[in-house]
């Protein structure tokens, strides 16, 4: 049906062009014949008028002017004219009178020609058909032969009279119509031949072009299954076969690309969808995820990565209700990294039990996607299922080292539920790119902590202070607070090693480190400075607060009983306290002042706390 319509449309277009061509030929031929016939008729009229003028002049010179009527009749008959008549000008009328027998009256045209001395040509219709009336003046000339001025008493150049001649144009018209019909017939014959040739030669090409247009439209919509009918021969066959090969190649290529992209996204596209558009969307998602990965690889901390991921969920996927949870490495705890785009906020979509018991989270425990949209009430920890609001969720675990190290929770309303589910495969790509980067950051953090920690006591080591001294110093100065610096030393520690052995000495150091952890705040920085020496930096604490804390540590160490093979051991500790920046604006100098106070405590009998004063620095020869 489509082909027949296309063929009919093509035929109508060609027929219309042929009609326009024939109309142009007819119009051109008619105009040309008309102009040619008029030109010929005018020329005949001028020749006849000249014959009349010469004949009349000779007749007057020879005295036979009375035979003028017969003369005019012979001229008209011989030239095939319908009428020949003469009217006199004013000069001739004055000399010879109004006229002779057979002269008609002067009409407007005669008068105009006699007055201006210019010929007039008028076409008019009468009973015999179209006529050309030519009214041509004859003027008195001195040098003409025969000479007009020999008989007429007029001035040179005066109009002696006018000859009116009527010539029938009917024969010329009939001849023109005849030839027009001939031309139309010839043109029509060639048009029919051309139409036949076109249908045989160019119609297949036109049909192929229309089929190609249809195939392109369908391919734009993602359908590469159309195959063009292939003509038997000619260029149309090659074009149709080439387009079919192209469609087959494109279809296979798109299917392969689509399958590979589906593997990357772990997502099967619906077979009825626009494969081209869906594949392009998925490829764009992969490209965006790759750029996202490049960005987070340059982030310094895990928190920056989580914040960037939260912005992607909010800005790229247009989801405003979501949560990101991080699972603690060593404990069965979870931390809400972001809730509805707000970092470190209290979770409100899930029961807070998951914060202290991570395995209560189904996605964390199983490592599988939890789809509360498809299966409501699947997770007992989600609060949205507790009422009839229709709030649902999808939880996506981010696997790190085989376990769920992070859980991204998407919250949907009844209006957005299907959209959220459709976005899950695309978001999963981002999570898959994020997981190894977070794992690398976690391993780097663990490695950094292991290199900055004392393996035996679990406290920071001296390298930690060297690495973070600038950050610590800048923080105190920026906030305008104080930092209490406490330097500890175990009294008579060498005697423990000498008497009980190094294993006993290690137990003493571990016990002292345990007292420091138990007595001081979690925000305080504890360092094993070297050997039996320890350092403590009490953040946001004055030197008076440092003295109170140091006394608590001293008393706790003195009261601690350390179990040894065959009995128990009790030790004491000496402590020096300094203030940064109260005692010194230089961090390391404040540490030296605390060491000076410690040295003084030992000199004063050990098992005591000494506050640094400038005189101690001078007394020790500093």
| Residues in the chain with pLDDT values less than 70 | 1-11, 14, 29, 33, 57-80, 97-105, 142-154, 198-203, 258-278, 329-331, 385-388, 443-451, 618-622
What is the dihedral sign for C-alpha 399, 404, 408, 409? positive
Do the Cβ atoms of 430 and 324 come closer than 8 Å?
A: no
pLDDT at 387: 61
CA angle 482, 486, 489 (to 5 degrees): 175
SS3 of residue 224 by DSSP:
coil
- Residue 563: φ, ψ to 5°: -75, 130
Q: Determine the CATH number of domain 462-619.
A: 3.30.70.270
Q: Which CATH class is domain 2-174?
A: alpha beta
pLDDT at residue 61 in the model: 63
CA-to-CA distance for 459 and 449, rounded, in angstroms?
10
Q: Specify the pLDDT at position 146.
A: 58
pLDDT for the residue 533: 93
DSSP 13-34: HHHHHHHHHHHHHHHHHHHHHH
Q: What is the pLDDT of residue 463?
A: 84
pLDDT in the model for residue 608: 93
pLDDT at res. 132:
81
Q: What is the model's pTM?
A: 0.47
Q: What is the pLDDT of residue 181?
A: 78
How buried is residue 270: exposed, middle or buried, by Cβ count under 10 Å (0-12/13-18/19+)? exposed
Distance CA 306, CA 437 (A): 11
Cβ neighbors of 489 (< 8 A, separation 6 or more) are 532, 533, 534, 573, 574, 575, 598, 602
Which among 133, 182, 136 is positioned nearest to 33, based on CA atoms? 182
Q: What is the pLDDT of residues 151-160, one digit of tens each?
A: 666 677 777 7
Q: Any idea where the domains of the chain sit in the sequence?
A: 2-174, 316-431, 462-619
Residue written as token pair 């999808």: 394
Hey, what CATH topology would domain 316-431 get? Answer: Beta-Lactamase (3.30.450)
Question: What per-residue confidence (pLDDT) applies to 100?
Answer: 62
Pull the structure tokens for residue 557. 């160490």
Are the CB atoms for 482 and 543 separated by under 8 Å?
yes
316-431 shares its CATH topology with 462-619: no
Q: Considering only CA atoms, which of 88, 254, 84 is closest in space to residue 159?
A: 88
Residue 134: per-residue pLDDT? 84
Cite the beta strand spans of 55-142 per DSSP E: 83-88, 120-126, 129-139
For residues 50 and 139, what is the distance between their CA atoms, to the nearest angstrom? 11
Interval 340-394: pLDDT, tens: 888 878 888 888 888 888 889 999 889 899 999 888 888 888 987 666 678 899 9
Closest C-alpha among 440, 406, 431, 436 to residue 335: 406
Closest CA to 90 of 129, 130, 140: 140
């Amino acid at each position: 049906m489509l082909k027949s319509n296309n063929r009919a449309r093509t035929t109508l277009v060609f027929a219309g062009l042929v009609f326009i061509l024939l109309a142009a030929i007819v119009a051109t031929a008619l105009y040309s014949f008309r102009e040619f016939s008029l030109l010929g008729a005018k020329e005949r009229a001028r020749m006849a008028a000249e014959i009349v003028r010469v004949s009349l002049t000779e007749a007057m010179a020879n005295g036979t002017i009375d035979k003028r009527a017969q003369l005019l009749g012979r001229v008209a008959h011989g030239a095939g004219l319908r009428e020949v008549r003469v009217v006199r000008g004013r000069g001739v009328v004055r000399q010879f009178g109004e006229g002779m027998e057979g002269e008609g009256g002067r009409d407007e045209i005669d008068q105009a020609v006699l007055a201006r001395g210019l010929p007039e040509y008028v076409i008019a219709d009468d009973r015999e058909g179209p006529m050309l009336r030519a009214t041509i003046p004859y003027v008195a000339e001195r040098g003409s032969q025969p000479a007009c001025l020999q008989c007429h008493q007029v001035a040179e150049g005066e109009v002696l009279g006018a000859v009116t001649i009527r010539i029938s144009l009917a024969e010329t018209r009939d001849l023109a119509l005849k030839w027009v019909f001939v031309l139309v017939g010839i043109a029509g014959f060639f048009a029919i031949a051309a139409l036949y040739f076109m249908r045989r030669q160019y119609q297949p090409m036109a049909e192929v072009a229309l089929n190609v247009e249809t195939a392109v439209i369908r391919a734009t919509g993602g359908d590469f299954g159309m195959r063009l009918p292939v003509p038997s021969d000619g260029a149309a066959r090659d074009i149709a076969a080439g387009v079919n090969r192209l469609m087959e190649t494109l279809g296979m290529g798109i299917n392969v690309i689509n399958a590979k992209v589906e593997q990357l996204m772990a997502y099967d596209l619906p077979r009825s969808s626009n494969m081209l558009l869906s594949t392009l969307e998925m490829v764009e998602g992969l490209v965006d995820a790759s750029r996202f990965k490049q960005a987070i690889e340059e982030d310094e901390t895990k928190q920056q990565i989580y914040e960037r991921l939260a912005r992607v969920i909010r800005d790229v996927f247009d989801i405003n209700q979501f949560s990101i949870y991080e699972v603690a490495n060593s404990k069965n705890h979870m931390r809400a990294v972001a809730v509805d785009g707000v970092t470190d906020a209290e979770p409100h979509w899930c029961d807070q039990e998951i914060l202290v018991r991570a395995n209560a989270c189904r996605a964390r425990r199983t490592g599988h996607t939890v789809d509360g949209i498809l299966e409501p009430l699947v997770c007992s920890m989600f609060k949205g299922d507790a009422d009839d609001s229709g709030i649902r969720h999808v939880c996506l675990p981010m696997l790190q080292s085989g376990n769920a190290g992070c859980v991204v929770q998407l919250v949907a309303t009844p209006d957005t539920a299907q959209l959220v589910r459709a976005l899950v495969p695309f978001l999963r790509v981002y999570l898959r790119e994020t997981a190894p980067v977070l794992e690398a950051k976690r391993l780097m953090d663990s490695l950094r902590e292991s290199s900055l920690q004392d393996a035996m006591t679990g406290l920071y080591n001296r390298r930690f202070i060297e690495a973070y001294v600038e950050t610590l110093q800048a923080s105190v100065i920026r906030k305008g607070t104080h930092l209490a610096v406490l330097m500890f030393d175990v009294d008579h520690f060498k005697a423990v090693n000498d008497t009980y052995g190094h294993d006993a000495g290690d137990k003493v150091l571990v016990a002292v480190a345990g007292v420091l952890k138990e007595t001081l705040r979690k925000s305080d920085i504890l360092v094993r400075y070297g050997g039996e020496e320890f350092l403590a930096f009490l953040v946001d604490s004055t030197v008076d607060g440092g003295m109170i804390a140091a006394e608590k540590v001293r008393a706790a160490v003195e009261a601690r009983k350390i179990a040894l093979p065959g009995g128990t051991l009790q030790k004491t500790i000496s402590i020096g306290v300094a203030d940064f920046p109260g005692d010194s604006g230089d961090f390391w100098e404040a540490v030296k002042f605390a060491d000076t106070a410690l040295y003084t405590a030992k000199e004063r009998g050990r098992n005591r706390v000494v506050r640094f004063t400038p005189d101690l620095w001078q007394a020790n020869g500093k």
